[in-house]
């Protein structure tokens, strides 16, 4: 046998072993993508707010994502399904995904939720309590810097049973706000639950957390909390090994070409 042929066979065998080991590893250590979006607008509207571009996905791009998920058999999870999977109580198909939105922008209710309903998909929105209470918005005007009001949120609760509303804090979405005593942080968790919605799922403002914050969540019976970055290392799929109070997500906020998103979802990490 020629030397080249031998080398080729060895290389092929190595690739095969790596592939099989990879599949075994993924089966034993399942992961699930939790994707994080923020704002959504038409391309024209997005252009008017250049400072916000990293936080806005265009409506067309978002619909492409949903179409891809639908056509490729992805299951869009509720937080309860995700939590039960994470606790090892249930298994879920590899093609499972938890879709999340941060901050509670009005654009979500105008563009994203109707699309999610159209494709019969679940998603979770982490809203900021005081932003909801301070908003007077009743309908979309093209201003991406607006948030859902109480009135809009009530309509969302009625019209979109596929959309879960969870906490992104009541009043901690500002710099340094989590540098407080456990008691004050607990009061914030309670305030969200009494004035916005009862929930046991949390997403840290700016993805930032500390020991006091985690203790406050645990004492207030919050069962899991999601982070956001801050570095590329934390933009990854969630595994059962992750701490329930430090669950990583993938960042899709700025929009992503659908082939890139498809590839990212197929990767096991």
Which residues of the shown chain bind Zn ion in the complex (CB under 5 A)?
102-103
Q: For Zn ion, which residue has the nearest CB?
A: 102
Nearer to Zn ion, 36 or 163 (CB): 36
Best CA proximity match to 34, nearest among 222, 250, 186, 243 = 250
Q: Taking the complex as a whole, how short is the minimal distance between the CB of residue 206 and Zn ion, in angstroms?
A: 6
CB of 143 to Zn ion, least distance (A): 18
Compute, in degrees rounded to 10, the torsion defined by CA atoms 174, 176, 180, 186: 30
Tell me whether residue 45 or residue 103 sits nearer to Zn ion (CB atom). 103
Q: How near is the Cβ of 204 to Zn ion at its closest, in Å?
A: 8
Reading the block at residue 139, the tokens are 């309908």
- Smallest gap from Cβ 77 to Zn ion, in A, equals 21
For the bound state, the minimum distance from the C-beta of residue 120 to Zn ion, rounded and expressed in Å, comes to: 27
Residue 147's beta-bridge partner residues?
A: 105
The sign of the CA dihedral 178, 182, 187, 190 is positive
Residue 104 or 255: which CB sits closer to Zn ion? 104
CB proximity list for 11: less than 8 A, separation 6 or greater: none
Q: Which is nearer to Zn ion, 74 or 131 (CB)?
A: 131
Report strand pairing: 31-37 vs 238-239.
antiparallel
Q: How far apart are CA 130 and CA 133, in angstroms?
A: 5
Closest CA to 223 of 199, 194, 242, 250: 199
Q: Which is nearer to Zn ion, 103 or 164 (CB)?
A: 103
| Shorter beta-carbon distance to Zn ion: residue 52 or 68 | 52
Q: From its phi and psi, is residue 120 left (phi > 0), alpha (psi between -120 and 50) or beta?
A: left
**Residue 34 contacts residue 236 (beta carbons within 8 Å):** no
Q: What are the distances in angstroms from CA 65 to CA 25, 33, 162, 260, 267?
A: 27, 14, 17, 10, 16
Task: Kindly state the smallest distance separating residue 70's Cβ from Zn ion, in Å.
Answer: 27
Shortest separation between residue 250's beta carbon and Zn ion, angstroms: 16
Q: Which is nearer to Zn ion, 102 or 130 (CB)?
A: 102
């Amino acid at each position: 046998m020629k030397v080249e042929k031998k080398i080729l066979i060895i290389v092929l065998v190595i690739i095969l072993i790596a592939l099989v080991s990879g599949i075994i590893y993924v089966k034993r250590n399942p992961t699930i993508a939790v994707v994080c979006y923020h704002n959504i607008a038409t391309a024209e509207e997005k252009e008017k707010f250049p400072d916000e571009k990293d936080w806005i996905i265009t409506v067309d791009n978002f619909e492409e994502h949903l179409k891809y998920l639908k056509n490729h058999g992805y299951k869009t999870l509720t937080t309860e399904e995700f939590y039960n999977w994470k606790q090892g109580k249930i298994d879920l198909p590899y093609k499972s995904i938890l879709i999340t939105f941060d901050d509670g922008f009005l654009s979500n209710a105008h563009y994203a939720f109707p699309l999610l309903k159209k494709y019969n998909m679940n998603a979770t929105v982490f809203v900021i309590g005081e932003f909801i209470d301070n908003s007077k918005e009743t309908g979309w005007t093209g201003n991406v810097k607006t948030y859902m009001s109480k009135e809009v949120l009530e309509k969302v609760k009625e019209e979109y049973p596929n959309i879960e509303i969870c906490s992104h804090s009541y009043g901690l979405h500002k710099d340094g706000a989590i540098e407080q005593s456990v008691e004050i942080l607990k009061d914030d968790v309670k305030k969200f639950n009494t004035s916005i919605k009862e929930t046991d799922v949390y997403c840290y403002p700016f993805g930032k957390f500390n020991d006091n914050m985690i203790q406050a969540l645990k004492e207030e019976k919050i069962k899991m909390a999601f982070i956001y970055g801050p570095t590329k290392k934390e933009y990854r799929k969630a595994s059962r090994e992750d701490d329930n109070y430090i669950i990583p997500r993938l960042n899709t906020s700025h929009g992503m070409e659908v082939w890139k998103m498809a590839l990212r979802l197929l990767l096991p990490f």
